[in-house]
Chains A and B, each alone.
Chain A
């Protein structure tokens, strides 16, 4: 089948939140969805939105593999779900997101003459009462309050000794998130009403607004907490991958408005029949490779024939062949899935952040672009590789290291070209790439023309 997928290059994300705002303006700036951000950006280390959503011990989202090798929803079998639809204990409260508010702006103009300069006070958009703002959609942005909240970051589990919230050791990066439009969506599997479906033509996961009955099982079932409850309509809503735009050939709002130019959209062909087995592999650390194996090579004539047979139009096959997402996931293997251990086979992948690389070797006096130094430095990154591995590879540092080495090698390789020196082919060779592939990867990541990103 064909799947619209996205890759975000976190190494380029500047944490500006333009994606969040353009998305919200286009889709959720209405009553009932004040607190809803289909797209949000988290500062890591940090708690995320809703807070600690990654703690599946608490929220019970996603799938687990049972002893017999079968997958079941973590929150219990779907039978149990159907049986307990009237009491859903694993639902984040508004406090876990944040209580949306506004201000009595009109007092600024309307105040009668008074003793003090007028001011607009906050009041809740839920209760209408005056409120004390104490959490927001992005409270711990840029490590705000980090010494207090940061240690509660779920991803620090097991590496607490490696991350200290002290000035000299500060690091951060940003994690923009939308719905993963999973190949194996646990939200859909959780829905008792059959309202959540995956579009045949492009794999976009949608909530049918007519069918949704507001049971909210999907919210619990989604380990990414990317299904939201509209408290006005009483229905679930989620990122639609901007299908009204995708259908007419323009990228999602979050992608096109991304000023970091870090989002890539493209088509992936995959073997739908292989999904379940891939999602059920025993070791969590094998899930990344297993998911990659589900994807089909659009250059393979057999795949092309099969796709044609399955009714996938020729231009879609072309799109899959020139898909930048495919190049990043399969050809260069620099993109990784977010939380493969949830076994939902997510389809928004990430290139982990490289920077800053040479900080720790700054006192050695060596040339920072020297290839050897860059490789040495990856082992002592400001951002602990283990932290990235917890996000993208179920804790396996090897694939993360592999990606970072490719990015580092690209910088070394390109510096020679930049300075008009002869390129050293042993650099791409050391990370298993040809010079040509490395240069093409450079163009895709750095020059990243509009037509090449989407």
Chain B
């Protein structure tokens, strides 16, 4: 026996006998047994792996991922999924996009056959019984529906049962009958704008989004916005760039020399993209993480900047202070000077307002029309801002401002070419005088305004004193220059003067030295790399009430240092998959602009603020938010919402206190045009805006349909108010209504707010959620592995597809087929009940149209108070008349309408003639045989829709991209069409996207270029091709001169702390303890184990986490109130109650808890100790707070467009008490 070096001889002998029992080879030392694998052996796992086919699809979820997946199918059953790896290359010297995905997506197939799958149509039993009974009685489903909702007792019965079980199975015929009848009834009785639909983020599946949207817009019902509602829309983007949001693809992170992840937890929320960050570090990129907790991304950062939650604005301002001082005041950097002269409003002149006490205030942009110069009499002279030309020593009017964008004289001049001009960034060297200007600060403990007075160099222009934006910025940021009077910081170490590094430390807790060094590195990197410094910013900094100010102070850093419009530079805001790359085709098809224009688009935040009666619980006034200027004197927030609606700034549906159909009839009876009639009625006071009397029954929203959406388990800020006031069921809030002295001045205030305003809530889904739980009708939807659709995102430059791995099982249907069914039945019922009607659509003044020139100098004049006349499209909304041929709704739904050829398409102000494209679609999709769509291209199927979208967009149809650029060239006079020329003949079809993800084409729909295979970065076309931004000056704006912006003290970026919930609502200050526990900042960041509410109920995700609702808290706070890990805790504030488990960790900062958002109340949520009812969701502790600056409209870049600008449903300023539950044995 050989000595094997193991155990010993006896063991060897025994173990060695293995040889005789197996064919396998035992190693000479008898330690290991070898055997050949091969096809014959190991059959178990080989069988397990065997599958019949692999189908390409993806996940229609709002996550920006847009990852392409392989879905494995065996025996007709979906077995599992794994990522595709066939993305076209990002280039030989860069990483690739493969294999995009995340654990959530990898767990998706679980849903297909899970017990939470909705297999059949359901209706709440109590309602279904009533309907069946009524239908038997009346025969007609519309009359049947009427008999239920018009009977207060019946209505109360089924509404109060919402969410409390009792769903019973029905049939498709029956549910479609109910839904269609309710729509017909509501159009007839209340008007179409009392109906609404909500489906988020079309980019994640535009065909599915379009299904319901197309139906609703055809009948005149508004679609509710999403981007602003989620608080994902950074209002700073329209404010500064005149753009909704445009950001680099993640592959462009690679190009950056310096990367700051600021409130964006990349590994968790950008899981498929995170590798670009980890890999770019190996190129020598420096990476900084700004986060209040030790977040997942902090692990990768060279530095962790532990900024206190919501204080990011102070940090950014201090960095701005250092950059302004060291790179603008102490020295002139040619690169920065050149950039700002051409591409920002730094050199533009601002008039100062005399305060009468020797001080001055910030005023309006000086424009050609204000001046005694030749351009005074030019077209749109009030829209041509002025600057000071250092070359000639004269005031000059540069090309490229809004005044050149429209009208005859502007052809060829809307560009950023300066010609001979040499704009002076500062008047310091050429000043006539110095003026003492007052600058607001909001850093006092009570959040109230105070002022600093500082000297600014000025020139005299006539009787005006003017200065530049940069001169104001220096003074506002406390950057002193010799010879300018006023109270200036004594240095970086001055803790009392705003914007110094020492000052910010008190709010952020970030050491001043660190801030100084980061700012220097930032500036120097921009110099060294030509602007390749990037900030990834996210929900952590964006979901605050004052997020626009936080963002503006952060964007100042990327903009002033020439990083915007660069590969590897600028802002990278990734919150919400807002970027549907083929946007033009999508917009026209989804909103049925081929049949009717304009559409009804509503900003959802204001919609729910009004319609869930949350405004009645506002115990603060608009005065609390201005800066002592009295701009909002005597008004509450809803007064401003109403004013914004009435002036045509923001949309407002339901619009009037009467049906929009009835108003058209009345106008006809009165022998007037509808606009004239409505103006007359409004002036006389006979007619009001619905928002002025929200509790009156004629103004309630009556029908809400949700698809691809879980409003009630996810985004509904003020969830408990929704439940009580909108749905009429249990709502666990304790807030009290505003006392008499705090109520709005111009809004009706009945004793009792209405409850159960909504008549019908319908949800299409494949799984049970809070929304299906509360719905009257639940429709079984196909999953993402069971339908055709498209997917795009801002994170990568591809368009790819959803494809069915199996047919929709049980009785589920695709969204497209469901809405088609509803449209069909609606049309049948409309024959008797509706016919052809005229509908007056009130539309706000739109961005990217001449309507944005409605408000000269941003001066607010209200027709209600007689300051101006009510003129539709100028001082009030546009009033357009649409003819609704209701019985033809189905025919319109399923064919492309004639407006495409007769009027053309228009996106972001660029017109397109698409006769050629429609003709091609006739051949590709075939034509409708009969009805109003006869001879038009068909839209029968989801694939027809997908192909229409792709064909009618420049990003996916090179011919249209080139055509669009050619049209823009006429206006700019600069060359652009070559950007798309390389792909002029490329036409991406749906079939192409089924084979492989396809790169998109550079198009005027977006601001960046992919030409030549470069990575997408926003604004590169603006910077490289002198194309103006869509703003007042045509440049990136630091200064905003609208009355309300100045009145709020926000004309320049300014630090505003999180809302003081103690002062505004009487909540306990953070850190205070009482019998309810300890008061903490309550944040609801994105969840590692879900994408919003999707996947949080998925068994795999629950097994990898804690199995139910959780709240993360620091060990320090936990110790204060005796909480240990996994204890049941209760979090309570005036808005509601949450019953969850605690996760205690030292990675959390003291004073802050995280309840990762959208953990639905469906999984392991017990009854609360406080009131014995089911615990709430994360949004049970929040509520809607509207910031007035977000509802400004009718003024240059501050003009409305859907999801472009609007009040955000911010959710981070909230606080809550949290305590250990007395009884840890919970009840359900």
Contact = CB atoms under 8 A, between A and B. Distances in A.
A139 B1106 contact: yes
Given A18-B101, A119-B1174, A120-B1162, A144 B304 contact: no
B33 A147 contact: no
A295 to B, nearest CB: 17
A139 B1107 CA distance: 9
Q: Which of A22, A119, A184 has the most CB of B within 10 A?
A: A119
A188 B6 CA distance: 14
A369 interface: yes
Given A78-B11, A78-B14, A142-B296, A111 B1104 contact: no
B773 A118 contact: yes
Contacts of B304: 356, 359
Contact of B85 (A170, A185, A450): A450
Interface string B629-652: 000000000000000000000000
Contacts of B299: 15, 171-173, 353, 355-356
B96 interface: yes
A129 B280 CA distance: 50
B517 A365 contact: yes
A202 interface: yes
A362 B303 contact: yes
Contacts, number: 416
A417 B516 CA distance: 26
Given A22-B106, A133-B1107, A165-B1115, A172 B294 contact: yes
Given A358-B303, A365-B513, A189 B28 contact: no
A445 B42 contact: no
B1162 A72 contact: no
A162 interface: no
A113 B166 contact: yes
Interface string B101-135: 11101110110001110100010111000000000
B1105 interface: yes
A108 interface: yes
A419 interface: yes
Interface in B227-284: 257, 266-268, 271-272, 274-275, 278-284
A215 B1114 CA distance: 44
A446 B279 contact: yes
B431 interface: no
A157 interface: no
Interface string A349-367: 0000101111100110101
A199 B528 CA distance: 55
B1150 interface: yes
Interface in B917-963: none
A304 interface: no
A122 B296 CA distance: 29
Contact of A108 (B15, B116, B300): B116
B1146 A143 contact: yes
Given A113-B164, A145-B1144, A18 B1228 contact: no
A17 B32 contact: no
Nearest to B107: A21
B760 interface: no
A145 B10 CA distance: 48
Given A142-B296, A147-B1145, A170-B294, A244 B274 contact: no
Given A146-B1145, A359-B304, A365-B517, A14 B282 contact: no
B338 interface: no
Interface in A124-158: 133-134, 136-139, 141-149
B1147 A448 contact: no
A167 B31 contact: no
A412 B284 contact: yes
B1125 interface: yes
A356 B298 contact: yes
B45 A116 contact: no
Contact of B96 (A71, A197, A363, A450): A450
Given A114-B165, A117-B773, A122 B1107 contact: yes
A259 interface: yes
Interface residues of A, number: 136
Contacts of A137: 1103-1104
A82 interface: yes
Nearest to A72: B7
Given A119-B1164, A272-B27, A418 B284 contact: yes
Interface string A260-300: 11100000000011011100100000000000000000000
B1033 interface: no
Given A122-B1108, A138-B1104, A194-B21, A261 B275 contact: yes
A247 B94 CA distance: 30
Contacts of A358: 302-303
B93 A447 contact: yes
B14 A79 contact: yes
Interface in B277-321: 278-286, 294, 296, 298-304
B44 A26 contact: no
B288 to A, nearest CB: 9
B5 A71 contact: yes
A61 interface: no
Interface in A386-428: 407, 410-419
A201 B38 CA distance: 9
Interface stretch (B76-84, B549-557, B1066-1074): B76-84
B1100 A21 contact: yes
Contacts of A410: 282
A442 B279 CA distance: 9
B34 A25 contact: no
A215 B113 CA distance: 35
A16 B267 contact: yes
B275 A260 contact: yes
B101 A27 contact: no
Nearest to B83: A257
B4 A276 contact: yes
Contact of B1107 (A15, A27, A101, A141): A101
Contacts of A20: 103, 1104
B96 A198 contact: no
Contact of A362 (B81, B285, B514, B1144): B514
B557 to A, nearest CB: 18
Contacts of B1122: none
Nearest to B122: A109
Contacts of A96: none
Q: Which of A280, A355, A359 has the most CB of B within 10 A?
A: A355
A368 B303 contact: yes
Contacts of B85: 256, 450
A10 B847 CA distance: 48
Q: Which of A103, A353, A363 has the most CB of B within 10 A?
A: A103
A166 to B, nearest CB: 6
B1149 interface: yes
B263 to A, nearest CB: 18
B553 to A, nearest CB: 22
A51 interface: no
Given A11-B278, A101-B1103, 19 more contacts: A22-B83, A25-B110, A113-B164, A119-B1165, A119-B1174, A133-B1106, A148-B1144, A170-B294, A170-B1146, A189-B31, A198-B32, A243-B42, A276-B4, A277-B5, A356-B299, A356-B302, A414-B282, A446-B280, A450-B96
Interface of A: 11-12, 14-18, 20-22, 24-27, 29, 69-73, 77-79, 82, 98, 100-106, 108-109, 111-122, 133-134, 136-139, 141-149, 165-167, 170-173, 183-185, 188-189, 194, 196-202, 204, 206, 208-209, 211, 240, 242-245, 247, 253, 256-262, 272-273, 275-277, 280, 353, 355-359, 362-363, 365, 367-369, 407, 410-419, 442, 445-450
18 contacts: A14-B275, A14-B278, A77-B7, A103-B1102, A104-B115, A112-B166, A133-B1108, A137-B1104, A148-B1144, A171-B294, A200-B25, A200-B35, A244-B45, A244-B49, A259-B83, A369-B286, A414-B284, A449-B96
Closest 4 pairs between A and B when the two form their complex, measured CB to CB? A415-B284, A113-B166, A111-B165, A14-B267
